[in-house]
Amino acid sequence: MSMRGTSRARRAAATVALAAALALTAAGCGSGGDDVDGGAKSSDTSETSGGGDSDAKGEGQQDAGDEEVPSEPIAEVKNKEGIVLRILELKRDGGGFVTLNGELENTGTEDFLHIQDWSGREQGADKSSLMGATFVDSEGKKRYYALRDTEMRCLCTSGIASLDAGETLTVYIQFPAPPDETTEVEFQLPTFPPSNLEISE
């Protein structure tokens, strides 16, 4: 399928958020490590949400940008509820952030309503978002969190009420970029197994 990539509006929001972004150190952290509370803050309060295939799944959706997203996944994982996460790219963008583009597909026969499971355990997290996503730079021993603003709004797909049986939702998440020499990280969204991802330029 053909999808459009990171929008200019998302780039602007991420650049502002990075002014105060924090990459929290987690010594010895990995796929089996505990979640680390905290995250990036900024003065930006604009709403940023990912686009989806349905018209009521995400509020404040951005217009598509001018970059093409790959159609073939670089990683695919499935949780016990039958939700498949296909990661299409993890791309380093100008301005010091990386953007993950992907899809969530409900391959089961029942609607999935537990979206809050993907938002993480951080107090004040948007329970309709993918705010719980993290990636680990094992060499740098740092765990990176999705960018968010001072009102705890995630620079990621949000406003997800449910994922209906058979539905596919286009998603994105933006993170502070690791050092340039870091080319591979371990990504995880709560309820899914971790995935080793190569960062593209």
What is the pLDDT tens value at each position of the chain, 201 positions in all? Answer: 444 444 444 554 554 455 444 444 343 444 444 333 334 433 332 333 333 333 334 443 333 345 688 889 999 999 999 999 999 999 999 889 999 999 999 999 999 999 999 999 887 788 999 999 999 999 999 999 999 888 878 999 999 999 999 999 999 999 999 999 999 999 999 999 999 999 998
Whole-angstrom Cα Rg for the chain: 15
Look at the chain and report how many structural domains it folds into.
Answer: 1
Q: Which two tokens stand for residue 169?
A: 């939702």
The dihedral through the CA atoms of 101, 60, 121, 152 has a sign that is: positive
Domain ranges, residue 127: 3-198
End-to-end CA, the chain: 22
Burial of 20: CB neighbours in 10 Å, binned 0-12, 13-18, 19+: middle
Give this prediction's pTM: 0.72
Q: Which two tokens stand for residue 129?
A: 């978002």
